[in-house]
Amino acid sequence: MTKMDPEIGSFETEMNRGFIQILVLTLLETDMYGYAMARTIKDLGYDVEENTLYPMLRRLEKNGWIRSKWDVTEDRPRKFYAITDEGRVLRTGLLNLWNKQNQILTRLSKENRHADQA
């Protein structure tokens, strides 16, 4: 990670919070345990720290957007998470909002590029 202006760092923290929630709600269409989720996110090219992921999972579960259950069939018990119907509704709304914001930023960026070239 490159060193960035402290002000950008605080914006990044805020942006990451929402992005990681959408990402997790999307990943949990398939049941996953926390460590596997963190690895999958890393494999996608994005890092999430466990001290960010686990409290967020607890918060999503408390709000009814995901559910969890323990799997004790293997030597090491694992807590698996899955999205709920309420979580799917939330995810759809968040993805719609994200897409709308992205379209606006993309359009504005194109307009700025054209203005710079004129």
pLDDT tens per residue, range 37-74: 999 999 999 989 999 999 999 999 999 999 999 999 98
Residues forming beta bridges with residue 68, ordered by sequence position: 81
Residues forming beta bridges with residue 69, ordered by sequence position: 80
Tell me what the mean pLDDT of segment 101-109 comes to: 95
Q: Looking at the domain assignment, is residue 32 inside a domain?
A: yes
Q: Are 81 and 37 in contact (CB under 8 A)?
A: yes
The whole-angstrom separation of Cα 89 and Cα 39 is 26
Alpha-carbon torsion angle 77, 50, 34, 9, nearest 10 = 180
Q: Looking at the domain assignment, is residue 103 inside a domain?
A: yes
Q: How is residue 71 annotated by DSSP?
A: E
pLDDT band at 113 (very low <50, low <70, confident <90, very high): confident
Instruction: Sort 37 into a burial class: Cβ within 10 Å, 0-12 / 13-18 / 19+.
Output: buried
CATH number of the domain to which 93 belongs = 1.10.10.10
Q: Is the pLDDT of residue 33 over 50?
A: yes
Instruction: Sort 94 into a burial class: Cβ within 10 Å, 0-12 / 13-18 / 19+.
Output: middle
> How high is the mean pLDDT of the chain?
91
Q: Which range of residues forms the domain containing residue 62? A: 6-117
Task: Say what the pTM is.
Answer: 0.82
Q: What is the pLDDT of residue 12?
A: 85
Helices (H), 1-118: 6-27, 34-43, 50-62, 85-117
Q: Looking at the domain assignment, is residue 1 inside a domain?
A: no
Q: Looking at the domain assignment, is residue 15 inside a domain?
A: yes
Say how many domains are in the chain.
Answer: 1
